[in-house]
Amino acid sequence: MFSVLLYCKLFPFKKISVYSTASLPFLHKDGLIFNPNLIECYKNQFFINFCSLVDVGLPELDSRTSTSAPKKKPKSAKKLANESSYTISYLINSCGLSPEKAFSSSEKVHFESPERPNSVLTLLKKHGLSRTHIANLVRKRPSLLLSNPEKTLLPKLEFFKSIGVSKAHLGSIISRDPTLLARSLENQIIPNYNYLKSVLLTDERVVAAVKRTSWIFLEDLKKNLAPNIMVLKELNVPQSCIILLLTHFPEAIMQKSGEFRASVSEVVEMGFNPLRSLFVLALHAISGKGNKMIWARCYETYSKLGWSKDDISTAFRKHPNCMIMSEKKISKAMDFLVNKMGWESKMIALCPAVLFFNLENRIIPRCSTVQFLFSRELINKDVKLSTMLFPTEKHFLEKFVTKYEKQVPKLYDFYQGKIGIEEL
């Protein structure tokens, strides 16, 4: 048994709990293995300094587990406690971590002075990372604070800048997946870039792909991506469609080979033409567990709103993304178009693209204006939804507003929502 003294100063604090000895770490006779589970803290600004105060009984390490290989002398309990104290304080005050996250991260990284982490933070800020970006990065990979900023980090940051990643996007990409800064530039990042460039042809598309899925630079693309591209080429999918899929939906084409082939077969069985862009849009809509879950929820929502299985299939073939929409957006748009505009629910299945327009800024103003013209018998009631919602703002105004200014002088104000229908 060894005794260890633990003293905590918290400014201010709500609660500290010292757990039973069963949850404590083994203790070498010359040093303490710090375990953040010893302390439960809440989100308060504090500074914690470990010294010594509480006797606890801990099991000795079995001498038989030691090896003949020479070992470094463990740090004293006091020195290790001081390092943990300083690290936690630094993570909170300089990196923006919460106390809980600082405790967790301090188990993975220790430093006695701010020289190296300060130089890392300075470099990251110089390249556009905000305090929020830095907090996320450090929380996920605190060991980066001990990286050599000039030799390890700077070349990678400059590389991403050289291919067109802006400072604003660089911060979000790296904070989302800091592993990018831990991988080899020469052996991983540049080879992946070269492969992506050979398929996508431009840096702009490569940047678009990495903004969508940062781990596209972390995979073995020749092993995982190339076979899937070959599957598409065997079906004569045009290069332009492959570029569309890889640029905007890289997660769909980066599935495991077996899963990707199954998705491709499913889309072919649905009747999609591999020569058209709808083929790869449908492929994206059914790929991955996340999209499959959204698909199931959309199917249920459309069914409740009166669509049959055939209606849903029709809508999907016309606009595959209608099956990976927010159920709330679907319900609100359908409620307005069916219950307030009087359109049949099944008619919208023939033109599902209308569901993608903004309800407040496009659907309601345009449909309300056209409905008013119906009521005044200024236009026929056979106007299609696509005729109302697809045209540009300029063309809609020319066809449905400016044209009737003499008959309805305040129609433009009504369209903009400045006056109600009673004022017309």
46-100 pLDDT, tens per residue? Answer: 333 333 333 333 333 343 334 444 555 555 555 545 567 888 888 999 899 999 9
Q: Is the pLDDT of residue 7 over 80?
A: no
Predicted pLDDT at 317: 94
Residue 422 neighbours by CB under 8 Å, 6+ apart: none
Stretch 355-365: mean pLDDT: 95
Predicted pLDDT at 109: 87
Predicted pLDDT at 310: 94
Closest to 82 (Cα-Cα) out of 32, 39, 38: 32
pTM score over 0.85? no
Q: Give the span between the Cα atoms of 344 and 351, in whole angstroms.
A: 12
Residue 78 CB neighbours (<10 A):
14
- 187-220 b/e (C-beta count within 10 Å ≥ 16 → b): ebbebbbebbeebbeeeebbbbbbbebbebbbee
* Interval 173-199: pLDDT, tens: 999 999 999 999 999 999 999 999 999
Q: Give the span between the Cα atoms of 197 and 203, in whole angstroms.
A: 7
Q: Is the pLDDT of residue 350 over 70?
A: yes
Window from 1-15, 93-107, 121-135, 250-264 with minimum mean pLDDT:
1-15
| pLDDT confidence bin for 38, thresholds 50/70/90 | very low
Q: Is the pLDDT of residue 23 over 50?
A: no
| pLDDT confidence bin for 342, thresholds 50/70/90 | confident
Q: Is the pLDDT of residue 1 over 80?
A: no
Angle at 112 between CA 35 and CA 48, to 5 degrees: 50
Q: Give the span between the Cα atoms of 33 and 21, in whole angstroms.
A: 14
Q: Which residue has the higher pLDDT, 41 or 275?
A: 275
Do 199 and 246 form a contact (C-beta atoms < 8 A)?
yes
Do 354 and 363 form a contact (C-beta atoms < 8 A)?
yes
Q: Which residue has the higher pLDDT, 399 or 36?
A: 399
Q: Is the pLDDT of residue 9 over 60?
A: no
Kindly report the length of the chain: 424
Predicted pLDDT at 84: 74
Residue 307 CB neighbours (<10 A):
21
